[in-house]
Amino acid sequence: MGKVYTPTAEDFPTTADVVVIGGGIVGVASAFWLSRAGLDTVLVEMRDGLSTLTTPNSIECFRAQFTEPPMAELALPSIEVFEDFAEVVGIPGYDISLRHQGYLFVTDDPDMLDDLKAAVDTHRSLGVTDSEFLDGGELLARFPFLSERVVGATFRQKDGWLSTHEATQGFAKGSSAAYLVSTKATGIRRDAGHPGGDWGVSAVETTRGSIATRTVVNAAGPFAGVVGRMAGLDLPLEPVRRQKVFVSPKPQIPQDAPLTIDLVEDAYWRPETGGAYIAWVDPDEPAGEPAEELPTEWDYAALVLEKLIRLNPFWEEVADSLKSEDLHPSAGQYVYTPDEQPLIGPVPELAGFYLNCGYWAGVMLSPEAGKRIARLVTGEMQPEDNLLR
C-alpha cells in the first residue's frame, strides 16, 4: 500500500527509480502505474495533501464523446478503469461514487445539427458505439426539463462523474509508491551520466532534500511550466482560471439529469447531492500565472444562470429563490497547449524527463495517461507510437 506522509530527515528517500512531481489525480495515477511496473517511485507534492489544488476544483466528470483520436484513445480505457476501479487498485469494495448519468451536448441552433451528426459518426469510428444523436422531439421526451427551443444533441448514457478525491486516494492506496506531501520541488539537477552520454536528469531538489534519480515525470498541473523551467525547458503551457459554483439543494433541480452543456453559450450544469454544479467557459478569460489561490467573480453565478435559463427553464425558478448563502463559488486552472491536447512522454532534449501535463480534461484522462507514462518509461511503448508526444 502506498504511503502518504510528510517526510522527516529520518524517513526522507534520497534515491528513487522515478520521481513524479505533482500530487493531483494525474500525478498520483502516474505514480500508481509506475510502481505497479516495479519501479521504486516517489511523488512530491508541495501542498499538505494529495488532490487539493486543481483536481477538486474540476467538475469531476468523464466522457467518451471525443472527436480527436488522441483524446479518445485515452478516454475509453480511462472510463474502463473507473468502472472497475476497486479491482484495478486491488482494494475490494472501494467506492469512487461513480454515476453513469450521461453527457448531453445540446443546441437550439439548426446550423449545428450536421456537425453533431458527424460527431456521432466520428465517435463510432473511434470505438464509441453507444453515443446517440437526438432530435428535438426525442430530447423533450427523454429530458423534459429542457426548453422547447432545443433542436438536437449528442448523448452518451455511460458518461458521467465520480468522486475525484476518492479516486486519487484509491490510486495512492493501491500503489507501492511513496507520496511526500508538504514537499516542494525546487530544482532539477542535470548531468551527462545517462546511457550513451546523453545530457539528462540526475536529481530532484526539494525543500526537504535531494532525491537522486534518472527519471522525472512532470505532472505539476498549472505549475508544470515552472517545473519545466527548472529543467531548462520552455513548455507551451498556459494556465487559465476556470470558475464553478455549487448551488445548494433546491427541489426544482432534477437530480436524474445528465451533465448538460449548452453548445451555443458554452455553459453547463450537473446535479450534485440535491443541488448542482454550474459553470461557463469564458472565452475571454486570459492566461495567467499558476496560483494556489484564485479569486472568484461576485457576478459569475448570475452570468452562468442567465446562460443556462435559455435551454433549461427551471433555472429561472431556482434563480428567483436563491440567496447569497446558496451559492458556493470556487476556481481552479485549466492548462492549455497550442492544440488543446495534453503533453505526454519523454522530452527529446533532456534524457529521463517526461511530461504528463497540459490538461483541461485531466480527471477524465488520468488513468490511461498515467499508464501510458509507465509504458513509455519502461520501454513497453515506443515514443513514436504515442500520439501525444
Q: 95-99 — which CB contacts under 8 Å span 24+ positions?
A: 95/166, 96/162, 96/163, 96/166, 96/167, 96/170, 97/162, 97/163, 97/166, 98/160, 98/161, 98/162, 99/160, 99/161, 99/162
Query: Residue 193 pLDDT > 80, yes or no?
Result: no
Query: Residue 196 pLDDT > 90, yes or no?
Result: no
Q: What is the mean pLDDT of the chain?
A: 97
**pLDDT digit string (tens) for 140-176?**
999 999 999 999 999 999 999 999 999 999 999 999 9
pLDDT at 199 (0 to 100): 85
Asked if 59 contacts 141 with a C-beta cutoff of 8 angstroms, the reply is no
Query: Residue 324 pLDDT > 90, yes or no?
Result: yes
CA distances from 371 to 21, 57, 171, 356 (A): 16, 23, 12, 11
pLDDT at 304 (0 to 100): 98
**pLDDT digit string (tens) for 10-69?**
999 999 999 999 999 999 999 999 999 999 999 999 999 999 999 999 999 999 999 999
Query: Residue 285 pLDDT > 90, yes or no?
Result: yes
Query: Residue 236 pLDDT > 90, yes or no?
Result: yes
pLDDT at 106 (0 to 100): 98
Q: What span, in angstroms and rounded, lies between the C-alpha atoms of 10 and 29? A: 27
- Give the mean pLDDT of 336-360: 96
Query: Residue 215 pLDDT > 80, yes or no?
Result: yes
pLDDT tier at 195, thresholds 50, 70, 90: confident
Does the pTM surpass 0.85? The reply is: yes
**pLDDT digit string (tens) for 115-135?**
999 999 999 999 999 999 999
pLDDT tier at 194, thresholds 50, 70, 90: confident
Asked if 386 contacts 74 with a C-beta cutoff of 8 angstroms, the reply is no
Q: Percent of the chain scored above 70 by pLDDT? A: 99
Query: Residue 1 pLDDT > 90, yes or no?
Result: no
Query: Residue 198 pLDDT > 80, yes or no?
Result: no
CA distances from 151 to 106, 116, 139, 140, 261 (A): 8, 11, 8, 10, 14
